[in-house]
Chains A and B, each alone.
Chain A
Amino acid sequence: MYNGGKIFIGLIIFVGLLILPFYLSMGKAIAKPDPKVDTPVIKQMAVKQCVESKDFMKTAHMQMLNDWRDSVVREGNRLYTAADGKSYDMSLQNTCMKCHSNKKQFCDECHNFVAVKPYCWDCHLMPKEGA
């Protein structure tokens, strides 16, 4: 091979970059995010039901919160009518966090897993938690 040394170094770097993600995760167990829904408020609920269905909340809660923010801050409308007809006060701290008061065991569980950093707490007060 002509200029074999240089080409070899290039290929080593190429393969190294490809192997890097495998190397970094080598021997590590994959964390399984487990958002806890066992706060005192949720435990007292007769029907354990969020504002919308679980599947909807799982994939679209961020868009809902964004819509709520726009609705409250820009239009002054605080009333949210859910798909099942119930009405809720559009408020992160008073509605969402009333039940999900365990940010560390609920919100952060998945957000940290997929490295998402929501900017909710840039403006809102971070809930105070024991642990």
Chain B
Amino acid sequence: MGLGLSLTAVIALILLVFAGVKGANLHLLFGAVIPYAAFIIFTIGVIYRVVKWGRSPVPFRIPTTGGQENSFPWIKQNKFDNPSTTSGVIVRMLLEVFAFRSLFRLTKSELKDGKLVHGSDKWLWLAGLAFHWCFLIILIRHLRFFTQNVPFVIQLFEALDAFFQVGVPLLYLTDIFLVGAVTYLFLRRVVFPQVKYISLAADYFPLLLILSIAVTGILMRYFIRVDIVGVKQLTMGLVTFSPVASESIGVIFYIHVFLVSVLFAYFPFSKLMHMGGVLLSPTRNLANNNRMVRHINPWDYPVHVHTYEEYENDFREKMKKAGIPVEKE
């Protein structure tokens, strides 16, 4: 159900651009208006979600404890998996964001000869890490279209990515790794019954969308060629707020740009917000110092307490008449 829906959605999006650009000649709409709109939705949406998260109180420390907590001096603490200091938390977050440390600990349980066995499962970690790093490098690489005198750092990324100088235009390693990794991430949701069972349209759609973006990009670079100078004039027009839509650029470019726009616009509404969410996870970004520091509930307010003394003052005479002992005569 979810898979069919996602696949239909992605195909419909591609057909929409095809009809819009080839049929209706809406170059400016797909080349400038929609990318701008998507960029604004992305920026405001992400800020809105992050601020909304920031406004939720976290009254208790709830870090996941992946190792020995701080205890007696003769018990060795696991400083990164169960940090009790800010510096420990920083290291934990760096490892989490850059190396997906908690995913590295993923285990798999399966029946083997009638016995339930547990073992480590590194494939998801490997594919996830490869995918995210490739995506970042590809994003940085694309900045060559958005800067006039391309900074050295961006050129360096590009040169390293095309290090092996295979074919012309030079083959990017990240292209291969990204498509491979996303394909694995997609197939595991289709092939493994346990994962398929919990997969929804919101899981398939971003994967299929990203896969389509990668495939259209690769097609554009290596197979269906487009006028790259026209492309850069369009993108530079976007960053200087003077967009010029070129009709000389092939439709494959508009499909690529539209799918990227959809990804950007979809981002704040989807699970992709884990980009900001990972930094705001209380299970990761809090030091486990529950037993060292007193944490006061942030929404505590002074409660009006009716003490026994006040109660007795209110009812003293009635209590005496009823023969109930009182503390103060």
Asked whether A and B interact, the reply is: yes
How distant is A125 from chain B, measured CB to nearest CB, in Å? 20
B148 in contact with A119 (CB, 8 Å): no
**What A residues does B239 contact at CB under 8 A?**
21-22, 24-25
B309 interface residue per 8 A CB criterion: no
Chain B residue total in the interface (Cβ 8 A): 44
Question: Which residues in A have some Cβ–Cβ distance to B below 8 Å?
Answer: 1-4, 7, 10-11, 14-15, 18, 21-22, 24-26, 28, 30-33, 58-60, 62-63, 65-66, 110, 113-117, 119
**Residue from the set B155, B229, B241, B276 with the largest chain A CB neighbour count within 10 Å:** B229
* Cα of A30 to Cα of B228 in the assembled complex, Å: 15
- The CB with the most chain B CB atoms within 10 A, among A3, A10, A30, is that of A30
Task: Indicate if B217 sits at the interface (CB-CB under 8 A).
Answer: no
Q: A62-B168, A114-B232 are in contact. Are A7 and B146 (CB under 8 A)?
A: no
A-facing mask of B37-71, CB < 8 A → 1, else 0? 00100010011001100111110000000000000
**Interface class of chain A by DSSP:** helix
Report B-chain residues with C-beta under 8 Å of the C-beta of A32.
Answer: 233
Contacts of B228 in A (CB 8 A): 59, 110, 114
Name the residue among B57, B58, B239, B276 with the largest chain A CB count within 10 angstroms.
Answer: B239
Q: Considering only CB atoms, which chain A residue lies closest to B55 in the complex?
A: A1
Q: For A2, give its contact among B39, B57, B155, B242 (CB under 8 Å).
A: B57
Pairwise interchain contact A10-B279, C-beta atoms closer than 8 A: yes
* Chain B residues, Cβ within 8 Å of A22: 239-241
Partner of B148, one of A28, A62, A116: A28
> Is B280's CB under 8 angstroms from A115's CB?
no
B4 within 8 A of A: no
How far in angstroms is the closest Cβ of chain A from B55? 5
| Interface contacts beyond A21-B146, A65-B168: sample of 16 additional A-B pairs, CB < 8 Å, sorted by A | A2-B56, A2-B298, A7-B50, A10-B279, A14-B46, A14-B276, A15-B47, A18-B39, A21-B147, A24-B148, A25-B147, A31-B148, A59-B225, A113-B232, A114-B144, A114-B229
